[in-house]
Amino acid sequence: MEDDEQEPLSIYRLSKVIFISPALIAAIGIAALWYLWTSNLYLMHNIGPMLMGLERYESLYPTLFLACRILTALIAMGLALHLVACLIRYMTTELRVFSNRVLWRTGFISRDVFTASVREIIGVQFTQSVIGRILGFGSITINTRGDDQIVANLISGAPQASSTIMALKNGRA
């Protein structure tokens, strides 16, 4: 079925909470990168030999310092790419509720689309943690006849989505 043939009753996206972890980790990585790129060798010359007993390897400090800068830059770029991957995941994942079916769509390069007719839906399981209640997200599992099910994790507005789907199932929408 083509999803553009009618307007959905509601569209639910992933919660923005998926950005918290990568943003914090990327910020820490960028802070470490900034520290290593703006600091001088003062800390390495004074504290390094005391802690590690490396007085005799003092000639290697500039090379070690450059290696640390390169490694930190690579880590910060990797973390920034992880943040971009979360943004793509957020933009390409949605749960659409139509009057006659439910559509779960995810993926950017490899697209996964699962459609369930409202007549085929047996039940909707809604799960929400304490943090989910505070921040307004949850998980929905839509069971259909047979072994098919739609599992939508970290959906913003999950309570409304589950009640909307059940109202459609019971013919009250």
Domains of the chain: which residue ranges?
10-15+93-169, 18-89
Residue 19 CB contacts under 8 Å (≥ 6 apart), including other chains: 83, 86, 87, 90
Q: What percent of the chain has pLDDT over 90?
A: 39
**Average pLDDT along the chain:** 82
Average pLDDT value for residue range 70-94 = 87
Calculate the CA dihedral of residues 126, 130, 133, 134 and round it to 10 degrees: -160
Are the C-beta atoms of 117 and 101 separated by less than 8 Å? yes
Instruction: Please tell me the CATH code under which domain 10-15+93-169 is placed.
Output: 2.30.29.30
The shares of helix, strand and coil residues in the chain, as percent rounded to the nearest 5, are 55, 25, 20
Are the C-beta atoms of 23 and 160 separated by less than 8 Å? no
Average pLDDT value for residue range 83-106 = 92
Are the C-beta atoms of 150 and 104 separated by less than 8 Å? yes
* pLDDT value, residue 96: 94
What is the rounded CA–CA span in Å between residue 19 and residue 41? 35
Confidence of residue 1 (pLDDT cuts 50, 70, 90): very low
What is the rounded CA–CA span in Å between residue 76 and residue 23? 11
**Residue 12, pLDDT above cutoff 90:** yes
Q: Across the strands, what pairs with 96? A: 11, 103
**Residue 103, pLDDT above cutoff 90:** yes
Task: Kindly state the DSSP code that residue 6 receives in the 8-state scheme.
Answer: S
Average pLDDT value for residue range 25-48 = 68
Average pLDDT value for residue range 100-106 = 92
